[in-house]
Amino acid sequence: MLGRYESLARATGMCSSVVARQVHGTRVVVAELPSKGGARVIGEADGMVTEAKGLLLVVTAADCVPVFMVDVEGRGIGMLHAGWRGSAGGILEAGLLLLERALGIDPSRLVIYLGPAICRSCYEVGVEVQRAFGRDATRPACLDLRSELARQARGAGVASSRVLRSDWCTRCGPVPLHSHRAQGEQAGRMAAFLGLANAPAG
């Protein structure tokens, strides 16, 4: 599997790539450029931030939301894997806080893109999930994870004009995508990735 991530790094002009063991949590870590290049796994986490040039951050998803975070001045980036547990538990806030504390990047300087994920119409959830988002629920209802994350981003200080989202649904979208809801345990995973390019030579 790491060989695929090494190939992905080369194909995108990066020195190396990094991926975490995703656990549907809220842990976000700072990723550093490995001395030997290639690809590596950095332990259990569902988000990474970095200021390292040439390092590709990779998350995988099949209905969960891949969250891309980019400083408008190019000083740092972040990638998050946001399922319902992470979204309700505050993974977006954790990522924003780490960007600010570790890299000095204020949320107001970020552009956030919410990638392809399951849409509201395809994502019926039970009472437990709704209550995790603060709803007074008594029966199943549909949930829009990207709208929840967009609201959280705006509340944390990201400008509304800089919170962007894909309209593609992983279950009913215009092109075939991996979807746990549609394909069950046999579903594959999509890779979402982001990196800061190396400065041009000379």
159-168 pLDDT, tens digit per residue, is 999 999 999 9
158-196 pLDDT, tens digit per residue, is 999 999 999 999 999 888 899 999 888 888 999 999 999
Dihedral sign from CA coordinates of 59, 193, 68, 76: positive
Count the domains in the chain: 1
Structural domain of residue 183, as residue ranges? 2-195
106-165 pLDDT, tens digit per residue, is 999 999 999 999 999 999 999 999 999 999 999 999 999 999 999 999 999 999 999 999
Whether 200 is in a domain gets the answer no
CATH number at residue 98: 3.60.140.10
Longest dimension (CA), the chain: 63
Whether 156 is in a domain gets the answer yes
CB-based burial, 155-180: b 16+ in 10 Å, e otherwise: ebebeeebbebeeebbbebeeebbbb
Whether 145 is in a domain gets the answer yes
Whether 202 is in a domain gets the answer no
Residue 50 structure tokens: 């970095």
DSSP class of residue 199 equals: P
Whether 201 is in a domain gets the answer no
Whether 46 is in a domain gets the answer yes
CA 182 to chain centroid: 21
pTM for this model (two decimals):
0.95
